[in-house]
């Protein structure tokens, strides 16, 4: 149990277009999901905390108009990279916590490799 599905796994888009990444909790409800960005062989940088039914909380330095987060249901959060540029190319990962019954840990999606050309 406690599976998080992330889609797509890989996307290539043209500069100036927008890309949506989906994160779904398949067998549990997630009132909170987290979005991370990761550069090659580096740690995960938390971008924002997605809260079901309310606005996301962005980390300092993350442009909220650039990275739109929507958490419309207890099982789905989406990250939209708007007007993408080559510097937005990165690996994006979402995660959610199934709660106390799973030892307070987090389950991660398999990640999305975004390449902006």
Partner 1 sequence: AQSVAQPEDQVNVAEGNPLTVKCTYSVSGNPYLFWYVQYPNRGLQFLLKYITGDNLVKGSYGFEAEFNKSQTSFHLKKPSALVSDSALYFCAVRDWNQGGKLIFGQGTELSVKP
**Given the rule CB under 8 A, which residues bind partner 1?**
4, 6, 32, 34, 41-44, 46, 49, 57, 91, 93, 95, 97, 103-111, 113
Which of residues 57 and 82 has its CB atom nearest to partner 1 in the complex? 57
Which of residues 16 and 105 has its CB atom nearest to partner 1 in the complex? 105
Which of residues 15 and 42 has its CB atom nearest to partner 1 in the complex? 42
> d(Cα 47, Cα 13) in Å, to the nearest integer?
21
Which of residues 2 and 82 has its CB atom nearest to partner 1 in the complex? 2
Residue (of 64, 43, 62, 50) closest to 97 by Cα position: 50
Strands 90-96 and 32-38: antiparallel
Q: Is the omega angle on the peptide bond into residue 8 within 30 degrees of 0, that is, cis?
A: yes
Q: How far is the CB of 53 from partner 1 (least distance, A)?
A: 16
Q: Are the C-beta atoms of residues 66 and 81 closer than 8 Å to each other? A: yes
> d(Cα 93, Cα 33) in Å, to the nearest integer?
11
Q: How far is the CB of 21 from partner 1 (least distance, A)?
A: 12
Q: How far is the CB of 117 from partner 1 (least distance, A)?
A: 18
Q: How far is the CB of 57 from partner 1 (least distance, A)?
A: 8
Cβ neighbours of 70 (radius 10 Å):
15
């Amino acid at each position: 149990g406690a599976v998080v599905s992330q889609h797509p796994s890989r996307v290539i888009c043209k500069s100036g277009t927008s890309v949506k990444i989906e994160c779904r909790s398949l067998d549990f409800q997630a009132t909170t999901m987290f979005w991370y960005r990761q550069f090659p062989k580096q740690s995960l940088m938390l971008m924002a905390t997605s809260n079901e039914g309310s606005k996301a909380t962005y980390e300092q330095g993350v442009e909220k108009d650039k990275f739109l987060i929507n958490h419309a249901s207890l099982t789905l959060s989406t990250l939209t990279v708007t007007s993408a540029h080559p510097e937005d190319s990165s690996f994006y990962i979402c995660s959610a916590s199934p709660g106390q019954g799973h030892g307070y840990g987090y389950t991660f999606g398999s990640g999305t490799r975004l390449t902006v050309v």
